[in-house]
Structure 1
Amino acid sequence: MKAITDLNDLRLFAEVVEHGSYTAAARSLGLQTSKLSRRIRALEEELGVRLLNRTSRSLSLTETGRQFHQHCLALVAEAKAAKDIVDRTRSTPQGTVRISCPVALLESGISTIIARYVADNPHVQVVLDATNRRVDVVEEGLDFAIRVRLPPLENTDLAVRQLCVSIHILVASPELAARYPAPRSIDSLKEWPTLSMASSGERFVWNLVDGEGRATSWAHQPRLATDDLASLRVAAMAGVGVAMLPREQVETDIAAGRLQQLLPGLTSTPGLVHAIFPTRRGMVPAVRHLLDALVAGFEGPDRRP
């Protein structure tokens, strides 16, 4: 037997049986009685069997109709259960949220925000891909990816929500700083060993701005270059060289005396930490509330966790 072309007809059939007449069922469904009757007749013709015995005063099920009705009830119950799941998902945070985030951003406070969110929402599971590679949120089935980029952000068909601003500062270990005169300008660092993020062109440049927004660029040859900010932080604390690292990543080290800031009047151009996701339409609470938690976690006068 071929598949029924309109499964709604099974629900209509179940309603007719439940109410015992076309008139009562049509009134409950908000349909015209004649239209409902035509739909049931079309269903019988499509199936090639009679489901109902009709008289001028009553309806009764044929034996085939009785068995068919049991399956219709099961189908209606499953459809209701499926809708209930969607309704619950839309009303309270639950289900799985799949996200991607660079390792350094996780270490700068995002992992703490996510852990707190999961603890506060026991019906939510977060699947986190900690990676520095550029991901495709649509192709990889992610709910959102966290990125940091210099403004202006690139044009995209995806939705974007800004989380905070990230600023890089120059830091060195106290032991390294003790070996050189205190720097008064970026050129004063020319004798200092440096560390840097990896560069495909093998040209390493720090782009900095002062307190009045004046930009300056400084080329250097680092002793260590890597695309892993965590490794740069470790090398800086070991006294290998000066590094330019996210302020939120090293503020605890500065407070503890493991690192110290150099040339505090110079910082990187602020980068925008943002979440990128397929669309705002139909966003389930688990995803929306996690994004809200990330924004709230970065709120404050200095925009960091």
Structure 2
Amino acid sequence: MPGTFDDLYFYEAVVRNRGFSAAGRELGVAKSVLSRRVRNLEERLGVRLIERNSSHFEVSEIGRDVFRHAQAAKLEMEEAARVAAQVAGEPRGLLRVSVPPGAPAEIVSNGLETFLGQHPKVRIQLIVTHRRLDLIEDRIDIAIRARSDFSGETDYVVKRLGAIRFGFVASPRLIAGRAAMSDLDDLRGLPMLGRDDMHSEEVLLLQGPHGEEQRFRIEPRVASNSINVVLDAARRGLGVGFLPKVITAAPIADGELVPLLPDWQGPESVFHIAFTSRRAMLPAVRLFVDFISERLKHLFTDH
């Protein structure tokens, strides 16, 4: 058949749910992705499968025939997966997992002994990086990351864990004797800490008290792609850090750090686990996502 199985899979869900929005909610896939996949299938087959506009959804006669074949193909694939699972007997195979440095990487790393002890036939490659990896091109099974912009990632399933906001913090001794800060210009005379280990300057995107956005340029005194290194430098008074509030809450409560200019913070990011729908069929992927999400959620407790 000229169309791909994925296109048939999405088309079957759209027809069964009588619409793109309902199918998207069921599959965890954006409506725009489903619409594109159905158009691809129509182009490959050279026929119109669905007549649609803002108020009308109708499956063509040939579309109903294709739907029946798509249902049959889906059932055959599900049966093949069940047979394979019975043969496999237990989760197995290699999982490639990407995770940002710092607390998330430590939590995942600390959980490996338990998970691998429970599932001895699973192998894991852990890629610790801030780089925005493509799950398909970089062969990533599971990506743990924070994003404020999900454009270009609508083909992925996203399991949201919590929201992250960045804010300015400093050691009390670094700002001792200084007047109370009320504006970004008050930071100009203080050393700054950064997270870009490739460039001498960084630009921080900030949101102000009234929702206004501003770009704030800094020349860090110390920079590292490890959040833990930057946090430790802030504690030691080496500069002002711009760090996630989920990891500065405890040092602030202990008096090691104080918040600066709380009305200015970074855009909200969603901390999440991403994976492709096809990979989610694998027992090892499902089990690891469930296993690690419970541990990562503790980052957001009481914050």
TM-score for the superposition, normalised by structure 1: 0.58
Contact 1:298 1:304 in 2 (8 A): no
1:87 alignment counterpart: 86
Unmatched runs of 5 consecutive residues or more in structure 1: 1-81
Aligned-residue offset at 1:184 = 2.0
Contact 1:96 1:127 in 2 (8 A): yes
Q: Deviations over 1:102-123 (max 9, x none)?
A: 11252585556x4596289455
Please provide the CA RMSD for this pair.
3.6
Aligned-residue offset at 1:183 = 1.3
Aligned-residue offset at 1:214 = 2.9
Contact 2:99 2:105 in 1 (8 A): no
Q: Answer with 161-170 or 93-102: which moved more.
A: 93-102
Distance in 1, matches of 2:238 and 2:157, equals 38
Given candidates 161, 171, 174, the residue that maps to 1:173 is 171
Contact 2:204 2:217 in 1 (8 A): yes
Distance in 1, matches of 2:165 and 2:216, equals 17
Distance in 1, matches of 2:177 and 2:219, equals 19
Q: Deviations over 1:250-285 (max 9, x none)?
A: 223223322222122222101222333343465223
Larger radius of gyration: 1
Change (3 A) 1:185 1:111: farther
Contact 1:171 1:262 in 2 (8 A): yes
Alignment partner of 1:217: what SS? Answer: strand
Given candidates 253, 256, 260, the residue that maps to 1:255 is 253
- Aligned-partner residue type, residue 287 of structure 1: V
Alignment partner of 2:174: what SS? Answer: helix
Unmatched runs of 5 consecutive residues or more in structure 2: 1-80
Distance in 2, matches of 1:234 and 1:279, equals 39
1:44-193 paired onto structure 2 within 5 Å? 86-87=85-86, 96-106=94-104, 111=109, 114=111, 118=115, 121-123=118-120, 126-151=124-149, 153-156=150-153, 158-161=155-158, 162-193=160-191
| Identity within the alignment, % | 28
1:266-277 paired onto structure 2 within 5 Å? 266-277=264-275
Change (3 A) 1:265 1:155: same
- Aligned-partner residue type, residue 143 of structure 1: D
Change (3 A) 1:96 1:154: same
The alignment of Structure 1 onto Structure 2 pairs a total of residues equal to 221
- Aligned-partner residue type, residue 224 of structure 1: V
- Aligned-partner residue type, residue 175 of structure 2: A
Contact 1:158 1:276 in 2 (8 A): no
Aligned-residue offset at 1:177 = 2.2
TM-score for the superposition, normalised by structure 2: 0.59
- Aligned-partner residue type, residue 235 of structure 1: A
Distance in 1, matches of 2:179 and 2:228, equals 27
Aligned-residue offset at 1:101 = 0.7
2:78 alignment counterpart: none
Q: Deviations over 1:202-254 (max 9, x none)?
A: 54222222454332332233212333322211211111110101122222322
Change (3 A) 1:102 1:242: same
